[in-house]
Amino acid sequence: MDNEQKILKAMKDAGKPLKSGEVAEMTGIDKKEVSKIINNLKKEGTIISPKRCYYETAS
């Protein structure tokens, strides 16, 4: 499972919007890497930001 999949899984499992720092803690991935992946996923429309600095899966 790559980092992108780990981040998406963590978001789905949480069942609530998460901050990038929380995602980093849950996945063990470096916070900078998490932020970079979140930005890419946001551009793709895979995740959304319901409020500033919080992210969740789009579906």
Q: What are 17-56's pLDDT values in tens digits?
A: 999 999 999 999 999 999 999 999 999 999 999 999 999 9
User: In the chain, where are the structural domains located?
Assistant: 3-57
Dihedral of alpha carbons 57, 49, 29, 43, sign: positive
Q: In terms of Cα–Cα distance, which of 35, 40, 39, 46 is closest to 9? A: 46
pTM score: 0.91
Kindly tell me if the per-residue pLDDT of 59 is higher than 90. no
Kindly tell me if the per-residue pLDDT of 8 is higher than 80. yes
* 10 within 8 A of 26, measured Cβ to Cβ: yes
Does domain 3-57 correspond to CATH entry 1.10.10.10?
Answer: yes
| Mean pLDDT for the stretch of residues 7-11 | 97
Q: 59 vs 23, which has greater pLDDT?
A: 23
* 13 within 8 A of 27, measured Cβ to Cβ: no
